[in-house]
Structure 1
Amino acid sequence: MNMKYSLSLGIALVFQTPYVFAAATETNTVDNQDGTFTYTQKINKDSTSPHYVAPSGYGFNYYSHSGQDYGWQHSFSEASNPLVKIQSATLLIRGFDIDSEAFHGTSGEYDGISVDGNDLNPGLLQGTNGTWSETPFDVPTSYILDDGLMDVFLDIDMNHNYVWWKTTLDYSLLTITYAITANDAPYTPTLNGSPQGCATANNDFVVDVSNSDNADPDGDAVSYEYRWFVDIGQGEVVDDEVAGKTDHTGNTVLSSEVNAGETWRVQVIATDSNGLVSDPAFFTWMLGENDSDCDGINDNNDDYPNDDKRASNNYSVESTLAYEDLWPDKGDYDLNDLVITNRFNVIKDANGLVKQIDLTGSIQARGATLASGFAIAFSGTTSANVESINMAINGQSEAVTAEAGHSSELVVAVLKNTHSATNDSLTYSFFNTQSGDERSVIPVTMSLIFVEPVNPLAIGNAPFNPFIYRVSDRGREVHLPNYAPTALANTGFFKTGADNTEVGGETYMTPAGHPWALEISTSWLHPMESVDIIQAYPAIQDWAESRKARGATWYSTPVSGKCWKCN
């Protein structure tokens, strides 16, 4: 019953039941004359400590609301007897005006019951407006036999923190049927559910017991009892028939009973030929609402609607990387020793963490006599977090592993040797840097998948930290200006030749600010072989020497005849 109007009357409401209450806590044991006993204990408003201490103005026999939660204690003195074996244990709670009808959605009256701090199944008291109802809960035997005490707690109107729904309880009845025997109860079932992981409304739900061949320590025959629960929008599971479904008693729920957005749970209890029972085992299926992979992202907004490890593509703008390989000397300073385009797709999961990084690029030019490798360093992760690396050069797959020797970052060699990737001509010793040499660019792809998703702030932005290194001298790395060397870099080259690298300050630049590597945020026509880049693009000098403060579009004004295809 919704109580917002009754509260305005300003009176205390005490609900009287239409029959006489038990005078106090009732505890009885009945000998069933078949070797078993049935123990019952009823707790109500007249029960006293330690079973129940009535709060002031609420509790049993009072209409109580959110913020007036209360508890009580059941006891079972035979729990200390090691020969006591429980055949069944139920907790039945009788209440009035429990508005848990499914049509309320999450706004209904949902009153949770827990024992010793553990939620029970079903997760809620079950009932309808203005009626008395009884909710049975199966109680795991371990909750009883550990110390013989069961602390029960009622969480009233769980979805509100203000006065809205009210209910009153008549009593709580614990019923235990047990035997005194040396025989042991069956093992708790081990369940295999199908489908595994995320389920859809097109699936039948099937549960199997995988330890049925070894189900009982005494070798007794064992049968299984199935009880099904479903949450159709309340926020907690209730018995399937209470939610308007079929009362399932077997190991299968057909897809015709299943709707998107629901949560289904099956409870399985093993019973041996002596009537002894196991603790219950559970298997749960969660169905997303228009969320096929149950990752919390609606299918319409999910780039990977059937993959719960991936949710969004995040593409970088295609850019061009260009390198001069004679660092720390300037050499011919044509910055065409490797020219490679790149575009990254940083694939994130539903939590915004990076699960995968894909690179799509192409080798535009190689104007180097010395063989170089091209690699990318990723901060914020290490080689131990790599699930796989897939690489293809000109359509040919290559085996790739993370480079060893890096304990605080991940380094992946995309091109192990720029010469072997581009040396396919008997006419030209270089690749697309000489007059008349206009071969097709060479596609390069890489897919890097992490075991555990990585914080995007830790890993940084594309193109991350790309660099070249001398194949014959691995420590001779050439990075973009102001990027850090890796652990394998030979820092003895710093401040030699034309280099002015200062650890912790400016890196990979001359004293004037001229770099050995460039990132150009577009496609680019690189200088011809042995043509100083300042001759091909005069505006780059002011851009470099102003530390990028001026001339940001230097790459758009080439000198005709000085760069590849810019005649």
Structure 2
Amino acid sequence: MSLKKIILASVLSPSFCVIAAATSTSTVDNQDGTFTYTQRINKQSTAPHYLAPQNYGFDFYSHYSQDYGWQHSFENLEDPLLKIQSATLLIRGYDIDSESFHGTSGEYDGISVDGSELNPGLLQGTNGTWSETSFDVPLSAITDDGLVNVFLDIDMNHDYVKWKTTLDYSELVITYAITPNDSPYLPVLTVENESCLSPDKDLVIVVDNTENADPDGDSVTYQYRWFVDVGQGEVVDDEIVGKTDHSGSTVLASQVQGGEIWRVQVTAIDSNGLISNPAFYTWEVSADTDSDCDGISNIDDDYPNDPQRASNNYTVKSTLAFEDLWPNKGDYDLNDFVMGYTFNVIKNADNQVKQIDLTGSINARGASNANAFALAFDNISNESVQSASIDIAGNTRSLVAEAGHTNQLVYTLVENIHDVTVSANGYQFFNTQSGDESDVVPVTMSIIFNDTVNTSDIGNAPFNPFIYPVNDRGREVHLPNHSPTALANADLFKTGDDNSEVGGAQTYMTTDGHPWALDVTSVWSHPIENVDIVNAYPMIKEWAESKKGKNTTWYNEPVKGKCWKCN
């Protein structure tokens, strides 16, 4: 309210101040076994109900530093059979500018009873009008001593004269019965979507103790009252801020906006009309939508409607290349099996792995021998897998975990590389000879886990890929420093050119550190047939022999004419 409005209000006609009698108390017999007690306090009330301050209080325009209080009393508590059915505090005020469009700068006049805030927490009204705000009074505020101490905190968001208001009266209305029956128990509340306070979710309250709701075994119904804070700093009745006046156990998502605070009051009422103390539950609705309730907002969730998945984690486009004559170096062209790949490790909100997808292509096959391509996951068992499948050039099949492994998951992805790498140009090999530019073979794979697995257990992509001859399962060829599986032939280690220390720091390398398999973090052109990789990529020698310490981008510097499509 402007200062001009405050000055004008002080000279309004006498009709502005409603003339009312001093404190009045009455009890009415409702002729149905119940009684209604009413007590009204106004400007003319005296101690102990009201001590009028000097120049403010009831019937005066009062501002932020002119807070005041009063006391209602209920003197009938001596009768042990008296049971309260309802208790309401009605406060009539004028020019209470509590409209929600003011935001936190509006006139918010807080009401508390016996030192505790009520629900709603504010007087409710609009500019230039009289309004009456109804507060449900907790039974404990009456039954403890029969005194209800009310306090008005005027314009609680300002420490200077901004808004003013005046009160006509405060009225305590108590309906009670004289009965040996006991009041119902306090409702025990739980909620749906408790961990997901998202603006696209209904707010649903559930009363858990409906089977044991009343000490006398009376039937019980429940009364719901909903409040909301849309940015005012205190909750008010939902209809006051333009919401539906909800009276059931649910607020639909269409009524909820991000950033709002919602509160429900639930009161049990038994078949005798006796009530419990009210129970409350409060929602602080996230400003962000989280449709699947996994704790990740939709804007940050790659799978906003899937609570088991939250993020895609792609590797860069990379290339695997193998030499199949291990433990001998052979022609060392590392083109016997070449595969481009990208892995996507799909994780949940707790950073645990739910799914692993592979998207790749078989780029080359320079082997005369028939080999298989497999993938091993250390520290993972077959029982953890929900489903696994692979598609090669449009042919889909389920993957079956290889037997013979303990706490290791092994799948053979390509059972015979020869079968899927037939040159379109009639060459003996596949994309390793000059002139052969056959289409690469697309490959996709997906492994879905029953629950999730720890990232630390499953390791990093590309995990543990290897090849082996179709007719010699034990002769596995792995990336350097990767472990053989339980089916590998350990007798081949330290034979030929191999210098592996199984269980030690070095596997699948020569004495000079040259590998039989490469994981190149790039789209890469492999050597053509019978060209030693050291001749096709001269910088690889120092890279390998320095244990990857030098020439780390060796794969970007081929010798023209010595690798596939790098002329």
- Provide the TM-score with structure 1 as the length reference: 0.60
Aligned to 1:361: 360
Rounded Cα–Cα distance in structure 1 between residues aligned with 2:71 and 2:378: 61
Aligned to 2:519: 519
Rounded Cα–Cα distance in structure 2 between residues aligned with 1:176 and 1:453: 60
Aligned to 1:55: none
State the AA in 2 paired with 1:466.
F
- Distance of aligned partners of 1:243 and 1:427 in 2 relative to their CA distance in 1, 3 Å threshold: closer
Rounded Cα–Cα distance in structure 1 between residues aligned with 2:311 and 2:290: 15
Pairing of 1:117-136 with structure 2 (within 5 A): 121-122=119-120, 124-129=122-127, 134-136=132-134
Aligned to 1:318: 317
Matched, 1:537 2:534: no
Pairing of 1:99-178 with structure 2 (within 5 A): 99-110=97-108, 121-122=119-120, 124-129=122-127, 134-138=132-136, 177-178=175-176
Q: Which whole-Å deviations, capped at 9, do the CAs of 1:124-175 have from their partners, x for residues lacking one?
A: 44334577755433356688889999999989878x6976866789798776
Measure how far apart 1:467 and its partner are: 1.7
Q: Equivalent pairs: percent with the same residue?
A: 48
Asked whether the 8 Å contact 1:324–1:338 carries over to 2, the reply is yes
Rounded Cα–Cα distance in structure 1 between residues aligned with 2:31 and 2:446: 75
Rounded Cα–Cα distance in structure 1 between residues aligned with 2:349 and 2:41: 47
Matched, 1:185 2:184: yes
Measure how far apart 1:289 and its partner are: 7.7
Matched position secondary structure for 2:120: strand
Aligned to 2:53: none
Rounded Cα–Cα distance in structure 2 between residues aligned with 1:373 and 1:148: 81
**Which of residues 406, 420, 424 in structure 1 aligns to 2:419?**
424
Structure 2: 5+ residue stretches without partners: 7-15, 51-55
**Which of residues 463, 467, 475 in structure 1 aligns to 2:464?**
467
Aligned to 2:340: 341
- Distance of aligned partners of 1:183 and 1:536 in 2 relative to their CA distance in 1, 3 Å threshold: same
Measure how far apart 1:534 and its partner are: 2.0
Give the root-mean-square deviation of aligned CA atoms. 6.9
State the AA in 1 paired with 2:124.
Q
Measure how far apart 1:298 and its partner are: 8.9
- Distance of aligned partners of 1:162 and 1:299 in 2 relative to their CA distance in 1, 3 Å threshold: farther
Rounded Cα–Cα distance in structure 2 between residues aligned with 1:307 and 1:116: 48
Pairing of 1:60-71 with structure 2 (within 5 A): 63-64=63-64
Q: How many residue pairs get matched?
A: 527
Measure how far apart 1:519 and its partner are: 3.0
Q: Which whole-Å deviations, capped at 9, do the CAs of 1:259-284 have from their partners, x for residues lacking one?
A: 75585666554422200234557788
Measure how far apart 1:453 and its partner are: 11
Larger radius of gyration: 2
Aligned to 2:11: none
- Distance of aligned partners of 1:467 and 1:232 in 2 relative to their CA distance in 1, 3 Å threshold: same
Aligned to 1:9: none
Matched, 1:88 2:86: yes
Q: Which whole-Å deviations, capped at 9, do the CAs of 1:221-280 have from their partners, x for residues lacking one?
A: 54443434445454654223311345455678789x847558566655442220023455
- Provide the TM-score with structure 2 as the length reference: 0.60
Rounded Cα–Cα distance in structure 1 between residues aligned with 2:386 and 2:64: 57
Pairing of 1:176-215 with structure 2 (within 5 A): 177-179=175-177, 180-185=179-184, 188=187
- Distance of aligned partners of 1:227 and 1:364 in 2 relative to their CA distance in 1, 3 Å threshold: same
State the AA in 2 paired with 1:342.
Y
Asked whether the 8 Å contact 1:289–1:298 carries over to 2, the reply is no
Matched position secondary structure for 1:126: coil
Rounded Cα–Cα distance in structure 1 between residues aligned with 2:473 and 2:162: 76
Aligned to 2:551: 550
State the AA in 1 paired with 2:398.
E
Rounded Cα–Cα distance in structure 2 between residues aligned with 1:75 and 1:358: 72
- Distance of aligned partners of 1:290 and 1:185 in 2 relative to their CA distance in 1, 3 Å threshold: closer
Asked whether the 8 Å contact 1:356–1:450 carries over to 2, the reply is no
State the AA in 1 paired with 2:340.
T
Asked whether the 8 Å contact 1:187–1:217 carries over to 2, the reply is no
Rounded Cα–Cα distance in structure 2 between residues aligned with 1:104 and 1:331: 82
State the AA in 2 paired with 1:320.
T
Pairing of 1:483-498 with structure 2 (within 5 A): 497-498=498-499
Matched position secondary structure for 1:416: strand
Rounded Cα–Cα distance in structure 2 between residues aligned with 1:474 and 1:142: 79
Structure 1: 5+ residue stretches without partners: 7-16, 53-57
Rounded Cα–Cα distance in structure 2 between residues aligned with 1:161 and 1:446: 60
Measure how far apart 1:416 and its partner are: 0.6
